[in-house]
Structure 1
Amino acid sequence: MRVRNKPWASEFIAENRHIAIASPENLKGKWQEYFGNENPIHIEVGTGKGQFLAGMAKANPAINYIGIELFESVMVIAVQKVLDAEVTNLKLLNVDAADLTEVFENGEVSRVYLNFSDPWPKKRHEKRRLTFKTFLSLYEQLLKKGGEIHFKTDNQGLFEYSLKSFSEYGLLLTYVSLDLHESDFEGNVMTEYEEKFANKGQRIYRAEAKFLNE
């Protein structure tokens, strides 16, 4: 992803700390308390500009959503999306995916969304893919027993790799679509990338995988 610097991003984020949480490690194990309810917590790793989670939060007020985004210059757009959606069940964290266990307690999360992640196509970059086994191990720690990963991509190579990675790790594939927008799947909320690719007629792949650690 090419990220353009936004000199005003830090100030805008600082003005909206009720959305973009500072020092999220202080809330580890306390996220439901912070939201003020006992609703399940769903996270999106690599939330980008925030369209997906803003739409999900609006459609599902009984779920708490947390978006994880590494780049502040991207997250600032997501902050504005949350403001525009006028939802209170969505927060954003400017942290690295590799540090998820520093901000979430074991079993604190019910679902992980991975949408249009960087495919890192070169073999030497395999460990950077968000469906690589080390990341799956991280998600397994965060998720409650029987927790799920919901995954979408336009990249066939990454999709095939991810299905293999899920299977080898021991996850149960509960849903697979090779052409999401031509399927009977209901309730799909699109990301910015998804809209762009779909408008070009590109196929969207989707899978759901469940950890068998009940």
Structure 2
Amino acid sequence: MPDAPAVVRSWQEYEHPDLDPVLTAAVDAFNEVGYHGATVRDIARRCGLSVAGIYHHHAGKQEMLVAILAATMNELLWRNQAARAAGGDDPVARFRNQIRTLTLSHIYWLKPAAIGSSEMRSLAPDNRRAIVAMRSGLQQHIQKDVDEAVARGLFRTPYPKEAVRSVVGMCIQTGQWYDEAGELRPEQIADRIVQIALDTMAYVPEREESTDA
């Protein structure tokens, strides 16, 4: 189960990542020059600490990378859990909510989330397995609700596993092309992504299904 946020808040409220100054500086460095290009000295400079001061907080770059990815995944997981709960007994509502929060999280948490796409290869094997397990758990939640919707005839895609992989990838990539100066707000983009996700699943509302019978 993901760590609960220190202050209880709605899964639909998005704030800046709650990372310490060292990790915030590491996020900027990793995004600008990559994990292997970044140095502890540069990260220290960015957050106004000495190199010795950095090591007082984090043992090295690998620990910083793990902490950033774990914090990002915990953020995604508690929102996913809350979004599912808000959907009640309706698998389609749970699916909608999960796709919405996954999209918005990758827009509002763009910089730390981007590291999850670019630097997984930089993790030590044990660390990589731990982060991959967290990712798999989130995707399994979405898959479970899609499978239930398929069983109930609400989603008619013949390829539910492939459809889930495609939709999750779409949500993740949204943050990469989102433009703050663009015409659409994040919430408007999320609405469109949800609709595209439902189309991908070949969603058939219950009322339409009963009419066809």
Fold conserved between structures, TM > 0.5: no
When the two structures are superposed, what TM-score results if normalisation uses the length of structure 1?
Answer: 0.28
When the two structures are superposed, what TM-score results if normalisation uses the length of structure 2?
Answer: 0.28
Give the structure with the larger helix fraction. 2
Q: Which has the larger radius of gyration?
A: 2
Higher relative contact order (CA 8 A, sep 6+): 2
